[in-house]
Amino acid sequence: MFEFMSAFLTSDSLSPHGICLLWRPELIWTHVAADTVIGLAYYSIPLVLAYLAYKRPDFGFGWVMWCFVAFILACGTTHFMSIWTLWVPDYGLEALVKAFTAVASVATAMVLWPLLPRVLQLASPEQLRQANDSLALHVKERDAALAALRKEVDERRLAQDMLRQAQKMEAVGQLTGGVAHDFNNLLTAVLMSLDRAARQSEIADPKLAKSLQTATLAAEKAAALTNRMLAFARKQPLKPMSVGVNELVSHLAPLLKNALGEHRALVLDLDPEVGNVWVDRNQLEQALLNLTVNARDAMESRGEMKITTRTIEMGRGGEKVLGAEIEVADTGCGMSKEVQTRAFDPFFTTKPVGKGSGLGLSQVYGFVQQSDGMIQLESAPEHGTRISIQLPIIAKA
């Protein structure tokens, strides 16, 4: 085997390829230049393929890349051997290089043809773009669905909180109404007895008459307090009538202005298209006065209270009906979330001791509920408070 290879590679009896070209310089150097350029190009292509296979192992056909690298390198070497054999007759070595190139080319072709169906299945740039667009659309739809789900969860949580608050208020209202009703009956008897005793003592003992008068005033205040508790419990006797919302607010404006004080402004924004509502006029006036007093205390020394009326749609018995909205908004200190959750609770107040009974908003709440209306509160610290009273419209005046 060694002797065969030695004889195969021996070039003593051979002539260089340049003899065939008669050593003509123009022919020789043309072959040299062309083979050099082709060989360098063949050597540069495998470098690119090797770098690509190294940097992109996820390509999936890396081993085919390495087959191409070996094949193209062998092809480039054959061209450099052609230059070498122009002067040195190493045709045996050139034959080995060509044999290696032949093996590499056949091996590359054998592994390449079975891969052709898989390569044809690869997505085109247009298909990839469409797939990306479809995926982006699905992601957008998913985000929209998540946002809708999140909103629904928040609304459901809010509805559950409102239901718990309504159940709590209903329970407190029943308890308050029962106590206030019984206490009111006792106060009626006390006031009648005090009145009879006062008439009998006016002549007998003036000092006793004065004490009885003081007791009567205190009992009357207690009776007023029980009436407010009955209003919260929605058990007070109402005298509903057709009331023009704008007419009532305009008529009450001077009194509300006096309740606010000289350094606080009252602004009216009345929609002339608002119809009449079926409510107890005195109780509605009292509710607006209570809201004005609360706004005055929230604004301290200066500020603005705005009363707005407008026509809205409101839910009533599962149906949509026209309603009149009376919105009272102030620029006061506002309420925290914790205070808002208890704002309509009876006897709850943030005012100092002796400054409020905590029944103002609860009375407004009970009156509005008893009148088949709704009340809403929105507030934020340092951004004021907005209270909306919504009552169903019956007809125009």
**Residues whose CB is less than 8 angstroms from the CB of residue 236 and which lie 6 or more positions away in sequence, other chains included:** 227, 230, 283, 366, 367, 370
Q: What is the pLDDT of residues 335-345, one digit of tens each?
A: 888 888 777 77
Residue 187 has pLDDT above 50, yes or no: yes
Place 34 in a pLDDT band, splitting at 50, 70 and 90.
Answer: very high
CA–CA separation, 139 vs 378, rounded Å?
35
* Of 162 and 239, more confident: 239
**pLDDT bucket at 328, cuts 50 / 70 / 90:** very high
Find out whether 131 and 123 touch, Cβ atoms under 8 Å.
yes
What are the residue ranges spanned by the domains of the chain?
A: 2-120, 239-392
For the ranges 1-10, 49-58, 66-75, the one whose mean pLDDT is highest:
66-75
Question: What is the model's pLDDT at position 320?
Answer: 80
- Categorize the per-residue pLDDT at 306 as very low, low, confident or very high, splitting at 50, 70 and 90: very high
Higher pLDDT, 100 or 128: 100
Give φ, ψ of 56 to 5 degrees: -120, 70
Residue 41 has pLDDT above 80, yes or no: yes
User: Does residue 259 surpass a pLDDT of 60?
Assistant: yes
pLDDT-based confidence at 359, cuts 50/70/90?
Answer: low
Average pLDDT, the chain: 79
Q: What is the pLDDT of residue 35?
A: 92
Average pLDDT over residues 111-124: 74
Query: At residue 142, what is the residue type?
Result: R
Confidence of residue 164 (pLDDT cuts 50, 70, 90): confident
Q: Domain 239-392 falls in which CATH fold? A: Heat Shock Protein 90 (3.30.565)
Q: Is the pLDDT of residue 397 over 50?
A: no
Determine which helix (DSSP H) or strand (DSSP E) holds 329, and give its type and residue range.
strand 319-330
CA 84 to the chain's CA centroid: 76
Average confidence (pLDDT) over 298-308: 86
Write down the pLDDT at residue 386: 92
Q: Is the pLDDT of residue 300 over 80?
A: no
Compare 186 and 382 and report the one with higher pLDDT.
382
State residue 308's pLDDT score.
93
Rounded CA-CA distance 91/10 in Å is 9
The answer to which of 14-18, 57-61, 158-162, 302-306 has the lowest mean pLDDT is 57-61
279, two tokens: 């409510």
**pLDDT band at residue 91, thresholds of 50, 70 and 90?**
confident
28 versus 216: which is more confidently predicted?
Answer: 28
The least confident of 102-106, 347-351, 385-389 is 347-351
What pLDDT, on the 0 to 100 scale, is given for residue 180? 59
Residue-wise over 323-352: b if at least 16 C-beta within 10 A, else e?
Answer: bbbbbbbbbbbbbeeebebebbbbeebeee
